[in-house]
Amino acid sequence: MIKTNYLIIGSGVAGLTFALKIANQFPNKKITIATKANADESNTKYAQGGIAIVTDKIEDSYQKHIQDTLICGDGLCDESVVEMVITEGPKRLKELIEWGAKFDKNVAGTLDLGKEGGHSENRVVHHKDQTGKEIERAILNQVLQKENITVLDHHFAFDLITKNNCCIGAYVLDQKTKEILTFQAEYTLLATGGIGHLYGHTTNPVIATGDGIAMAFRAKAKITEMEFIQFHPTALYDASTDTSFLISEAVRGFGAYLRTKKGDRFMLNYDSRGDLASRDIVSQSIELELKKSGDDCVYLDCTHLELEGFIKHFPMIYMHCKNIGIDIAKNWIPVVPAQHYLCGGIVVDKTGKTSVDNLFACGECSRTGLHGANRLASNSLLEALVYSDKIYHYLANHPFDDLQETEPVQDWISDKITEIDPKYTANTKLELQLLMRKSVGIVRNDLDLNKANFKLKQFQIEIEDKIKNHKTNASLGELRNLITIGSLIVEQSIDRNENRGGFVKN
Ligand code: FAD
Ligand code: SIN
């Protein structure tokens, strides 16, 4: 058994930021980060558009950002959370800059501010079109310099350990030695990110399998608003791959138009904000257009944009398109909606506490009340930065007296030697992804949802049996988690009878 004061599961913006802050506060306490892939692999690393923060107090204001967030959330945001998160943005940005993150500036030497769907002003602070990579680099670099933080990469958290509704650690699989380690922790933070690979067709990297939410669910934590899946309107259309390259919404903020194959600028028919309507509305409109036309995709037209400025702001998008034969100065970019973000998740209060004692959640796996029924673009990195700070402040004021005095934790016991057939996990995952895409997509209906619910129950019985009788491995653990997440989304979609934001049921 390994003792640690703070166990952090996940090394995206949420986990790393908290780790760094608590490590600075308590140089003599031990902080362990378990992360299932390379330390920098995360949704964070792929964030393109940037962080929504009010830095221009002349054109913009907190009140405008708050209003945009509330409008996007379609009546389901917690207003006090929205106000708290948005007004703390500038402090969190200052910290990121102090840690070495670089953000683009304009000729006047002030921050260059991008615009995205649902924003009434330019307020998105960015590092070209690779903001997440820059943030991840800067914070990870700080974390790796801390002597009291141990980063365990390729360590897959399998389950939380709880006693009397209190989290006392986790079982973590060392994917290199195949050994299950038992961690005893005073406090555990879930920072495990999103769920994209439940759908397969997603902008998320393969690590996004909803593990933290599923573990929290098994530990009986409260999980809500799972029906609010955000589909990004402009994932690059490429029938040959699952994980889709994102064409940032900031490209539309820069002036690009959405067009049908015939050239119609259809968004003007759906919303007065046109191409910069909020994401839920743009994705739903594209879905309708594709149903009407029978086409496979719509198009993003950048041909009228100033090329030099485009390349400066979006070098990665420009090169990615170029490498697959799309010259954005001449050709329209084919795009379709793809799963992108989960608005709901593990319910936390304003200090990041879950309904299980000593268990905290932060970032995309949490449900804070900021996003309501649909997240405003670029509010996610901001939410993770603000909540990791809130959790840090809470825990800085609530240190455990002595870890040695806590109750001993039962080591993992397993006598299973049979390996699971990898074909079973791979095929079941594909079947599950297809089910979610067909029955739990942008527009849902109760008939399909009930059928999906039935199928998911069968998957659940089967996977529990496989888990009981086979040696634990990460693919099996992920598959079990994906099935749990699918069930939560389907059940909560069946329960919701009112269309809001990203949720539409006919
Ligand atoms: P992540 O960054 O996803 O980190 C999760 C971590 O948990 C990873 O290290 C993962 O390996 C680890 N993990 C997961 N399960 C386990 C397990 N069982 N055991 C151990 N480790 C585990 N948001 C914005 O605000 N602005 C943007 O411009 C923006 N652009 C985006 C573009 C793309 C392509 C994508 C995919 C997302 C974008 N988002 C954006 C959303 C945003 O990036 C994420 O919501 C945010 O980064 C989530 O941070 P996180 O720390 O919660 O999770
Ligand atoms: C994007 O750049 O379009 C993604 C922004 C986000 O998801 O917040």
Q: What is the 3-state secondary structure (H, E, C) of 134-169?
A: HHHHHHHHHHHCCCCEEEECCEEEEEEEEECCEEEE
Ligand 1 centroid to 368 CA: how many Å?
16
Q: Residue 475, SS3? A: helix
- Per-residue model confidence (pLDDT) at position 407: 67
Q: What is the DSSP string of 273-329?
A: TGGGS-HHHHHHHHHHHHHHH--S-EEEE-TTS-HHHHHHH-HHHHHHHHHTT--TT
Angle, to 10 degrees, between the axis of helix 446-469 and the axis of helix 474-495? 150
Cross-strand bridge partners of residue 341: 230
Q: Are 129 and 249 in contact (CB under 8 A)?
A: no
Looking only at the bridges linking them, the beta strands covering 229-236 and 359-361 are: unpaired
Ligand 1 within 6 A of 42 CB? yes
Ligand 1 within 6 A of 433 CB? no
| Catalytic residue flag (residue 137) | no
**What token pair was written down for 248?**
């940032």
Among all ligands shown, which has an atom nearest to the Cα of 189? 1
**Alpha carbon distance, N-terminus to C-terminus of the chain:** 51
Which among 137, 252, 279, 367 is annotated as catalytic?
279
Among all ligands shown, which has an atom nearest to the Cα of 39? 1
Q: Extract the residue ranges of the chain whose pLDDT is less than 70.
A: 401-407
Instruction: Indicate which atom in ligand 1 lies nearest the CA of residue 131.
Output: 28
Ordered by where they begin, the domains of the chain are: 2-227+343-402 (3.50.50.60), 234-338 (3.90.700.10), 422-505 (1.20.58.100)
Ligand 1 centroid to 229 CA: how many Å?
15
Tell me, what amino acid is at 7? L
Report how far residue 337's alpha carbon sits from residue 339's, in angstroms, rounded to the nearest whole number: 7
Residues making up the chain, counted from first to last: 506
CA proximity to 70, closest of 116, 120, 113: 120
Burial class (CB in 10 A: 0-12, 13-18, 19+), 174: middle
Among all ligands shown, which has an atom nearest to the Cα of 195? 1
Angle, to 10 degrees, between the axis of helix 211-218 and the axis of helix 474-495? 80
Work out the widest C-alpha separation in the chain, in whole angstroms. Answer: 70
CA pseudo-torsion sign 362, 82, 76, 371:
negative
Alpha-carbon separation of residue 249 from 122, 129, 235, 433 (angstroms): 13, 10, 10, 25
Ligand 1 within 6 A of 211 CB? yes
Report how far residue 132's alpha carbon sits from residue 491's, in angstroms, rounded to the nearest whole number: 32
Report how far residue 425's alpha carbon sits from residue 73's, in angstroms, rounded to the nearest whole number: 36
Cross-strand bridge partners of residue 334: 299
Ligand 2 centroid to 283 CA: how many Å?
13
Q: Residue 2, SS3? A: strand
Neighbours of 354 (CB within 10 A): 25
Ligand 1 within 6 A of 214 CB? no
Phi-psi region of 74 (alpha: psi -120 to 50; beta: other; left: phi over 0): left
Instruction: Indicate which atom in ligand 1 lies nearest the CA of residue 136.
Output: 2
In the block, tokens 């809130």 appear at 390
- CA contacts within 13 A on the Cβ side of 243: 11
Q: Residue 52, SS3? A: strand
Report how far residue 9's alpha carbon sits from residue 192's, in angstroms, rounded to the nearest whole number: 6
Report how far residue 364's alpha carbon sits from residue 97's, in angstroms, rounded to the nearest whole number: 22
